[in-house]
Amino acid sequence: MNVSEQRYVPKKKVRDRYSRQELVGRGAYGAVYKGIDNESNRVVAIKVLNLDTEEDDVGDIIKEINLLSQLKHSDSQNITKYFGSFLHGTKLWIIMEYAAGGSIRSLYISLITREVLQALIYLHKCKIIHRDIKAANILLTEDGKVQLCDFGVAGQLTASSAKRTSFVGTPYWMAPEVIKEGATYDTKADIWSLGITVIEMAKGNPPHHKLSAMKAIQLIPKTPPPQLEEKFSSHLRELVSLCLNDYSDQRPTAEELMKSKFIKGASKHPNGLLRELITKYEQWKQTTGYRHSFQDPHGTPSRFHIVTI
């Protein structure tokens, strides 16, 4: 089967049958939209792929359609249902079951980020800068609570010293103003580190992770703030963009970030989801003989702590 054998329906008729609504995701070949099947009034996912692309890419699309067609009548509840595909021009619409919860990656990132923000709201009200926000310093308890840990380099702000100048933190997560010689910073440095941590959770590593720590320190103040690619949700990208503003005074507070669309989307999900994740993880460790080790590929310290005041 090839793409030309897909059901051809004029564009107008496809849009009569399906109403395309908001964008919910974007990938290498196209985008995914929430939609409505106007005949059944069922909510569906509409994956719109661009066939006007490299031949190898079209081959991948054909392979996906073939697999989906084989699974069309699957009774498995754990496989996304496929309802058909329609070709018009260079666009291929693939109609699939809509999963309202979205990607588990976005769901868990939003839940964890929400809880870290709660911790930062408390710390910042106490005039404390954590100065080492990163995934390794975010813990999950057995009952699903998210806890911020490692206050070894935290800084206290006072009425007479509302800013700090210490060069402290883990290089890849450090805000530009922490790195710049002679610059001062406050609690907004934690907001930058949180933005880097969100990228770390989304992609598995922070920006510049392939570089040595010293090279990363040189680049961070001189290059534009990192951003997530379009394949990530617009709300997640917006959150990262808000956190990673070169101008620290223009970054929102932790309290203001709680009102962002990405975090508000997590409000309907209880921490029980994290508790379930922990339970399954513990079961996995017991059944697979879990082994874990970490080694810094650059042989550099995991955290810099050079105090200048």
Separation of alpha carbons 61 and 107, rounded Å: 27
In 3D, which of 143, 146, 250 has the Cα closest to residue 191?
Answer: 250
Domain CATH code at residue 57: 3.30.200.20
Annotated active-site residue 132? The verdict is yes
Separation of alpha carbons 234 and 229, rounded Å: 10
Q: What angle do CA 39, 41, 80 make, to 5 degrees?
A: 100
Q: What is the pLDDT of residue 28?
A: 62
Q: How many domains does the chain have?
A: 2
245 and 177 fall within a common domain: yes
Residuewise pLDDT in 10s, the chain (309 residues): 454 445 555 555 666 788 888 887 776 667 888 999 998 999 999 988 877 766 556 677 777 777 877 777 667 777 788 888 887 777 888 898 887 666 667 788 998 999 999 999 999 999 999 999 999 999 888 777 889 998 888 888 766 566 777 888 899 999 999 999 888 999 999 999 999 999 999 999 999 999 999 999 999 999 999 999 988 888 999 999 999 999 999 999 999 999 999 998 766 555 566 777 677 767 776 776 555 444 444 444 455 444 433
Judge residue 269's burial from the number of C-beta atoms within 10 Å of its C-beta, 0-12 exposed, 13-18 middle, 19 or more buried: middle
Candidate list 60, 132, 186, 249, residue with the active-site label:
132
Q: What is the pLDDT of residue 217?
A: 95
114 and 263 fall within a common domain: yes
71 and 37 fall within a common domain: yes
193 and 142 fall within a common domain: yes
127 and 250 fall within a common domain: yes
Q: Are 231 and 237 in contact (CB under 8 A)?
A: no
Provide the residue range defining the domain that includes 227: 106-271
73 and 118 fall within a common domain: no
Q: Are 46 and 95 in contact (CB under 8 A)?
A: yes
**Cα separations in angstroms, 99 against 44, 81, 102:** 8, 10, 6
| Listed residues 97, 129, 145: the one ending a domain | 97
Flag whether 7 is in a domain.
Answer: no
Residue ranges of E strands in the chain: 7-8, 18-26, 30-37, 42-50, 82-88, 91-97, 128-129, 138-140, 146-148, 155-156, 167-169, 304-306
| Listed residues 97, 121, 148: the one ending a domain | 97
Q: What is the pLDDT of residue 191?
A: 98
Neighbours of 60 (CB within 10 A): 14
Flag whether 289 is in a domain.
Answer: no
Flag whether 73 is in a domain.
Answer: yes
143 and 81 fall within a common domain: no
Flag whether 305 is in a domain.
Answer: no
The DSSP bridge partners found for residue 46 are: 33, 95
Q: What is the pLDDT of residue 60?
A: 73
Q: What is the pLDDT of residue 267?
A: 61
Q: Any binding-site annotation on 81?
A: no
Domain CATH code at residue 221: 1.10.510.10
